[in-house]
Chain A
């Protein structure tokens, strides 16, 4: 059973546009939802994360929207830039739990 489902698999956005990546999770006990950004040949870097006690978290051009009732969360990249072109992974975990469940990844290509 896939605990975290991510979509779309790939995304093409024009420079200056908004990139939106969605994730859905199964386990209502999850209480930590991070997003990672991975450039080719590099390890994933923690980008932004949210706890379920808030519906939105913003850091610069990156925003997580969280819908607890729908068990969904999404990453919005405002004013997308070519330098944002990377693969993005969502994940879910919980306190005192040793594992993370990752989505399958979204390859973002921002066209200049």
Chain B
């Protein structure tokens, strides 16, 4: 069976500090990978998606970036966090040949 992991689960960072969130998927190969952000009480905003190693598509221009160094690893980064970067960050995966998309447990980021 497939499993998706995200860490850390929670993170409190000061404004201007760097960020690195990690997502890994087990039990499948060559998945499509996604980063979403969810502000408090709000919907899901797609940030990045990747269809393969080194292939990143950006949906929203901002001070975040994503990388996919390995087939089942997806990383969300920032060089300098803003207060507005606070939120719930969700990683998701999908088999290219199927419709279903599955979410990870999320990372709660608070920028102070």
Cβ–Cβ contact A98 & B49, under 8 A: yes
Q: Decide if B46 is an interface residue (CB 8 Å cutoff).
A: yes
With known contacts A98-B51, A102-B44, A43–B101 Cβ distance under 8 A:
no
* List of B residues within 8 angstroms of A49 by Cβ: 99-100
With known contacts A89-B44, A102-B44, A46–B49 Cβ distance under 8 A:
no
Cβ–Cβ contact A102 & B43, under 8 A: yes
Cβ–Cβ contact A46 & B100, under 8 A: yes
Cβ–Cβ contact A95 & B99, under 8 A: yes
Instruction: Tally B residues with Cβ within 8 Å of A.
Output: 21
Min CB distance B50 to A, Å, is 9
The residue of chain A having its C-beta at the shortest distance from the C-beta of B107 within the complex is A43
Interfacial residues, chain B to chain A (CB-CB below 8 A): 32, 41-44, 46, 49, 51, 57, 59, 90, 92, 99-106, 108
Whole-angstrom distance between the alpha carbons of A93 and B99 in the complex?
Answer: 8
Cβ–Cβ contact A43 & B104, under 8 A: yes
Whole-angstrom distance between the alpha carbons of A46 and B103 in the complex?
Answer: 8
Instruction: Tally A residues with Cβ within 8 Å of B.
Output: 22
* List of A residues within 8 angstroms of B32 by Cβ: 98
* List of B residues within 8 angstroms of A46 by Cβ: 100-102
Interfacial residues, chain A to chain B (CB-CB below 8 A): 32, 34, 36, 41-46, 49, 89, 91, 93, 95, 98-100, 102-105, 107
Q: Interface centre among B99, B104, B105, by most A CB within 10 Å? A: B99
Whole-angstrom distance between the alpha carbons of A102 and B103 in the complex?
Answer: 13
Cβ–Cβ contact A34 & B100, under 8 A: yes
* List of A residues within 8 angstroms of B43 by Cβ: 89, 102-105
Q: Interface centre among A32, A34, A44, A91, by most B CB within 10 Å? A: A44
* List of A residues within 8 angstroms of B49 by Cβ: 98-99
Whole-angstrom distance between the alpha carbons of A44 and B88 in the complex?
Answer: 11
